[in-house]
Every structure is written in C-alpha cells, then in structure tokens.
Chains A and B, each alone.
With several copies, the nearest count.
Chain A
Amino acid sequence: MNDMTLLERSVEQTEIKISAQDVQVWYGEKHAIKDVNVDLLDKTVTAFIGPSGCGKSTFLRCLNRMNDTIESCRVGGRIALDGEDIYDRRVDPVQLRARVGMVFQKPNPFPKSIYDNVAYGPRIHGLARNRAELDEIVEKSLRGAALWNEVKDRLGEPGTGLSGGQQQRLCIARAVATQPEVLLMDEPCSALDPIATSQVEELIDQLRAEFSVVIVTHSMQQAARVSQKTAFFHLGNLVEYGNTDDIFTNPRDPRTESYISGRIG
C-alpha cells in the first residue's frame, strides 16, 4: 500500500475534480462571492488565500453545500464534482458531503467522547466491519492529525474538554476518518504550534496522493509549502488562480502582489 501511494504520487494528475462556474453567493442582500470561476484538480492541494472576510470560507462551504444550512444564503452559478452539478435537484447533499469532507474554521467537536467524535463518520458510513477495524481507523486518524499521543489515555473523555488546538486537531481527525475524496480545510492549523502544524501539513501531503485537498490559510508560507495551486480571493472576487509557485513569485494581478508582499510572518 505504501509503495502504491508513493507510486501514484509521482504521476502528474491534471484531472478536474471540482469545477466552479460563475459562482455567486448572497447572504440576504450582501453579495459575498462574485462570479467565481475555478477548476480544482484531483490529487492536488489547492490553497485559498485572501484577507479576512473576503469570502474564502463562504466559497469553501459552497463546495459541499454546507451553505444550505444558512437560511439567508443563496448560491448561484454551477459547481460540478466529477462533472456532475452538485446543486442539481437530484443530488443528495448527504452523499456529496460524504465525498467532500470539511474541517470548519471554528473547531466544533461533538459533546461526546474523543473516540466517538472520530468514530462518528466511519460509523454512519459503515466504513468499519467491526470494533477492531473501527479502533484502527480512529487510531490512524488521530495519529494523522498528530493528536494520538496526547489523547490516547483519555479517549473516553469528552472532546469538548480539550484545549483549543487539540480540538482543532480532533476535528481534522474526525474529517479524515470519513475518508472523503475531497477534503476542505478551513484554516486547519490556526491554533496549532509549529510542530503540530508540520505534522498536519505532512498529513495533507499524504492525502494528496489519492485525494484532492482544499485548504484555507492566512500563512503564505504554509500555502507555499503544501499547495500546488493557489487561489487568491479579494472582496468576494477570485482575483488570481494558478500554480502556487507562479502566484508567489510572479503574481499577475497588482492586488495579489500587494497582498503577498504585505506579508509579515
């Protein structure tokens, strides 16, 4: 399995996983996303960057229809996953979300035990045949999210009793355990120390071998480190999208440039 992963990773993938065309989002009167056109590739990490409040989370939530839960939110345009319009009437958002997983910006662990938090996804999707398999998935996911060592002795304690960064990693583990094809991560390392961050980044890199990952981040360094593609949002517009290297070294749009050059850490 390990070898295969390595093997596949080397193969260049250019297949389009998610394609967004003319996406518009309104919160009531507020036009939060304007005319966004972007193709997210399979087996690729895409970074969304942009100033706070520019619509990154909003766009991310469009990709697995989490915006459905916000009453005032309306979405226009077309978003296709593997060529199928996800806003089609016949599409079941449940199935969509099982394939397009999400880590939210604010950690939101369930008021259940740490174990149950991670086991939740595998259980509802029937990913484990028995308890042993489930245990294995839970452990693997928690290891992937760099949380295993800290919580292995307290798996039965509530996930809400963890520290902020621990909760964040728990939510990553929870999302990973569901084994989605596309993983949307909204600032997954915002509350993590550098070491935990690097471990999560490593996890992202591994996931890329088989899946597509979208990550929102405020750290240019992180975007540069983990992503192959980068999209820069500004005031609801997708200003620039391209190879990460190009964006950071050679931005075409002056806004992108000023954002990147204004960087501090």
Chain B
Amino acid sequence: MPVSWTLLIVLALAAVGYVVTRARAIAQAGGDVRRLHSRPSYHGWHAALLTALPALFLIAIWRFVQPSAEVTLLTPLALLLAAAGLAFALIRTAPGFRARNAVESMVKGLLILCSIIAILTTAGIVFSMLFETGHFFQKYSWQDFFFGTTWSPKFGGGSQLGILPLLWGTIYISLIALAVSVPIGLFAAIYMSEYASVRLRSVAKPAIEVLAGIPTIVYGLFALITVGPALRDWFAQPMGLGSSASSVMTAGLVMGIMLIPFVSSLSDDIINAVPQSLRDGALGLGSTQSETVRKVVLPAALPGIVGAVLLAASRAIGETMIVVLGAGAAARMDLNPFEAMTTITVKIVSQLTGDNDFAAPETLVAFALGLTLFVTTLVLNIVALYVVRKYREQYE
C-alpha cells in the first residue's frame, strides 16, 4: 500500500523535524533555554505538527474525494508539503518565536476538529435518513404516521404505520428500565464512593461494569427464558393482568439491570470528585453520612449524574435485543405493564432487516421512525440541559 508508506514517511519526517528544530532552538539560545520564549520542545512540536498536519490532511482529503483514483501523484505532493512545512518551521525558529502559542493554536484547532466530528456525525445521520424519509412520506401520509394509533405493516399493502403505539412502548419500557437502574445504580455508586472499603470498591466497580459488557442477547434470553415466565406465573396471572410471558415489565427489568453500570460507574467517579472539604463541612455540623450525601454531595455532583442517567436513558431507547425477546414484537398502547409491547428501535431494525420490498413504505418507514426518534430525543436533551443549568451547584 503506497499510501501507508507515504504516511510512514511523513511521520518520520515529522519526527526528524522535532529533533532538528528542537536542537536548532537550543543552539540559537546558546544552550541557555531561558533565552527562548518557549521551551525547546515546543519548537520541536511546532515543526513536527507543521510537517505532519498539512500532509496528513492532504492525504485524507484526497482519499475522501477520489477514493479509488491514482495515488502516484499523491505521494510526491504529500512529501513536498511535508518538506515545505518542515522548512517553514525551521525558518521560523528563533529565540523570540512564540512556539508555544503556535503549537497551542494548532492543538486547539485539532480539538475543535474533533468536536466538529460530532456535528458531522449528526449531519451524516440526518442526511442518510432524510432522503428515504422523504420517499416514505411520498408514499404514506404523515398524518397517519404521526397520529395513527395502529401499527400493522402488511406485505400486500394497506399497512397501518402509526408511530404512537411504538412511541408509547419506547417511553414505557425506558421508564421502567430507568426506574430499575437509576435507584440501584445511584445507590450502588453512593455506597461504593462513600461507604465501601477500598477493597470492596475495587472489586465491585469493575464487576458491575461487566454487566455493561455482557452481550444484550444474553439479557434477552434471560428475559425470555427466566424473567418473563416468572413474572407471568407469579405476578401477572395471580393479579389477573393477563398471561403474556413477554411484557413491558420483563424487558424493563432486565434492561434496567444492564443499565446499572452506566449509572453507577459514572456517578461513582463524579461523586468521588466532589472535594472532601465539602463532606467535612457537613460532617462537622453533625450530619450523618447519608445526610451529607443527600444534601451536599449529590447536589454538587448533579450535572454529572444527570449525564449518566441520560446516557442510560439513551441506551434504553436504543436497545433492541432485550425488547424483542423480553417485550415481544406487538405494537400496542396499553397501561398494563404485563402486556407485550415494542419500541421504535425494534421496529426500525425489524423493518430494515425484513423481507419486504426495499422501496415500499413498510421498509422506508424505518427511516421515518429513526428521524422521528432523533428529533424526539433531541427535544428531551434540550429539556435536560435546561434543567441541569437551572439546578447546577458549582463548588468552589
């Protein structure tokens, strides 16, 4: 692969640039680095970055614009650019040169670039779904989609594709999952950071994190084989709430278990980061440890905890396997938690991976569902941001 060779050469040049420029800066200062505006290593980095970055960008853009085109021209161009960067850096090196500022602005540029990736991802997601969503709404009326209360896709046409039952299922299951995971996760985090011995904590935290790594299919099968029938036999049937083995409750409970580490581990880190002086202040006034936690530590850690809960909620919304195996595939609007229901995400997956005509509304609806979900969660996130802003307690 010539491109990877080019890459290697560019990186090697950058390394050379670092060494040479650093030495040159020291030499210019007559060995006394105090006469330099910036430390010699900043001069080195300046050269390395100037050598590598433009060339790397060239390669990246080239590859992106013309993926399969000839690369023979690319290599010399990239190397030329790298050499030019190196030369420029060498010329600029002088005791008074603000190498640190230059390096820091380049690094800042890189940091900005990285945060732009998030925006690009969003744009990519929206664009990759917008087009097909448009197709969908050409074939299916938007009123029926947004306000329809029945979800029953059919192969021969005449499907009813109302989003409401799916939306309801999504909300219901996520709420139950959060009702399980947030208290358990939060209490676990509190216990680990405030009460537990170092040994217990060093075992419990990674152990709980394993819960996040168990493939969801395991949870799904656990819901299907163990939890579902148990709930049916012990709760639903005795209470006269139906005899469905798959239910919102099953999926919610099992998903809740999966989400525990999302809440517990992140919260634990945040709680741990609350300065000890705040705890001392509360304890010194004669609070019990739990009062300290509830009234001082948790409010101070609130933004991070909300972030953790949001992350858990996000996972709950995005989960498929547990819902399919735990809650079933029936779209239904019902208050009974022991009834089978399903979520938007499940239907996105199943309509995308089904056997339908790929240009039919039954398949395209997946994109509309995806986009709608995207917008819905966006609104939720805006609300969450607003709430956190309002209740944030900044320490120090």
Contacts and interface: CB of A to CB of B under 8 A. Distances in A.
A contacts B: CB pair < 8 Å: yes
19 contacts: A66-B283, A92-B101, A94-B100, A94-B101, A94-B287, A98-B286, A99-B286, A101-B285, A110-B282, A111-B299, A111-B393, A111-B395, A120-B282, A121-B286, A124-B286, A124-B288, A126-B34, A126-B39, A129-B34
B285 A121 contact: yes
Interface in B22-75: 31-34, 36, 38-40
Nearest to B41: A126
Contacts of B296: 110, 112, 120
A106 B277 contact: yes
B394 interface: yes
A214 to B, nearest CB: 13
Q: How large is the interface on B (under 10, 10 to 19, 20 to 34, 35 or more residues)?
A: 35 or more
Q: How large is the interface on A (under 10, 10 to 19, 20 to 34, 35 or more residues)?
A: 35 or more
Contacts of B101: 92, 94
A112 B393 contact: yes
Interface of B: 31-34, 36, 38-40, 98, 100-101, 275-289, 291, 295-296, 299-300, 393-396
A111 B280 contact: no
Interface of A: 64, 66, 69, 92-99, 101-104, 106, 108-112, 120-121, 124-127, 129, 158, 160, 171, 174-175, 178, 180
Contact of A175 (B33, B36, B284, B288): B284
B284 A101 contact: yes
Contact of A178 (B32, B279, B286, B289): B286
Contacts of B288: 94, 124
Contacts, number: 99
Interface of B is mostly: helix
A88 to B, nearest CB: 15
B98 A175 contact: no
A124 B296 CA distance: 12
A259 B52 CA distance: 63
Nearest to A71: B198
Given A69-B276, A110-B296, A104 B98 contact: no
B284 A160 contact: no
B284 A66 contact: yes
Contact of A95 (B277, B281, B286, B393): B286
